[in-house]
Structures are given as C-alpha cells and as structure tokens.
Amino acid sequence: MKQNLQWEKISEIKQGKEIIKTFKMPDGTIKSFPIRDQGLGASVVAKTPDNQFILVRQYRPGPERILHDLPGGDVDEGETPLEAAKRELLEEAGYTGDFEELGFDYTSAYSNEKMYSFLATNCKKVQEPQLDDGEFAEVELVSLERLKEIAETGDITNSAPVYRALKAVALHQHS
C-alpha cells in the first residue's frame, strides 16, 4: 500500500547561511529543518590528451584531513554552471579543455545545492593555478585506475560526478 509522502511547506526563514523550513508532515505533525543555503555548484572531471585525470588535493575542514577534490566550486551570480566549471578548472588547476555537461546532483537532503557535473577532455595546462586567499592546494594527475580507486575508497569529496564522467568516458571510447 502506498503512503502519502508529500509534505506541505508552511514557512521558510533565512538565517545567515541556513534556511529554516517548516513543513506539515503527512501525519499532520509540524516539523522544522535547518537547510544549508548553498545554491548552484559546478565540478569538473578533467582529462588530458594522454589520459591523465586532473585532481586537486587539499585539506578539508569537515573531515579534518587532506582529500582529493575535483576542480569546482560555486556558480557566481550572473554565471552559468558551464562558465563556472571553466573558471574553476583554470583557477584551481591552470587547465582548459573541451567541456560536456553530464547532469546534476543534489549534494545533500539538507542543502539546496544543485551540483552540475562536467567532463572536460583534451585538457592542456595554460597557466599556473590562481588560488583564492586562504586556499592551499596541489594539482595531481592520476590514471583512470587511480581515479576509480580514489572514488571507491571515499578519498574524494564528491564522487557522483566521477561516476557520471566514467560512464561518459566509456561511451566515448566505444563510439
């Protein structure tokens, strides 16, 4: 038997980087949830002509350890996800390439962030990374096998774009 799973939003109050959303639940109870207000993001799985994948290693304060990251970040106001992806790859790694949008994911049930994924191929280094103040990172080129291992072990902050890109790479190889 199917249950009514629909919630009715009663209110939404912005408090700094959070939105407090209050809902009437299917059973009639009222409950509030803190939602991280993050907006749009873009991440890039970037591949060089010699089949190396471009990752960025940096310390992440949430898990309190150094992790691999895909080049990416917030989509600035007035910018498309594609423009943000191109900017982030250039700023964080110093590379540019040919971009293909792979789709998007919601990053958490308690965030409004919508993360767009891109595959960038034929990537070439055109400058040194231009990191933001307070950003400390190093670029690492890895093989396809190493990228898969990093995604499978959780040694990366966002593995969903990796899996989307691996599917796209496999399709490109067979076409």
Spatial contact of 18 and 111, defined as CB atoms under 8 Å apart: no
Which range (35-44, 80-89, 131-140) has the least confidence?
Answer: 131-140
Segment 47-53 shows an average pLDDT of: 96
Q: Which pLDDT band, with edges at 50, 70 and 90, does 165 fall under? A: confident
Q: What is the pLDDT of residues 102-127, one digit of tens each?
A: 999 998 899 999 999 999 999 999 99
Kindly state the DSSP code that residue 51 receives in the 8-state scheme: S
Helix (H) or strand (E) holding 119: strand 114-125
Residue 113 token pair: 């962030």
With beta carbons less than 8 A apart as the criterion, state whether 126 and 90 touch.
yes
Residue 175: the pLDDT is: 57
Residue 124 has a pLDDT of 98
Radius of gyration, CA atoms only, the chain: 19
Are the CB atoms for 75 and 104 separated by under 8 Å? no
Mean local confidence (pLDDT), 17-46: 94
Residue 8 has pLDDT above 60, yes or no: yes
Over residues 69-102, the pLDDT tens digits come to: 999 999 999 999 999 999 999 999 999 999 999 9
- Note the pLDDT of residue 174: 61
The per-residue pLDDT for 65 is: 93
In sequence order, the β-bridge partners of residue 120 are 46, 99
Question: Identity (one letter) of the amino acid at 83?
Answer: E
User: pTM of the entire structure?
Assistant: 0.87
List b or e across 71-95, with b for residues whose CB sees 16 or more CB atoms inside 10 angstroms: bbbebeeeeebeebbbbbbbbbbbb
Instruction: Report whether pLDDT(17) > 60.
Output: yes
Average pLDDT of the residues of the chain: 92
Eight-class DSSP state of 156: B
141 pairs with which residues across the strands?
Answer: 54
Joined together, the tokens standing for residue 142 give 């890895």
β-strands 40-47, 95-106 pairing:
unpaired
CA angle 116/163/58 to nearest 5° reads 70
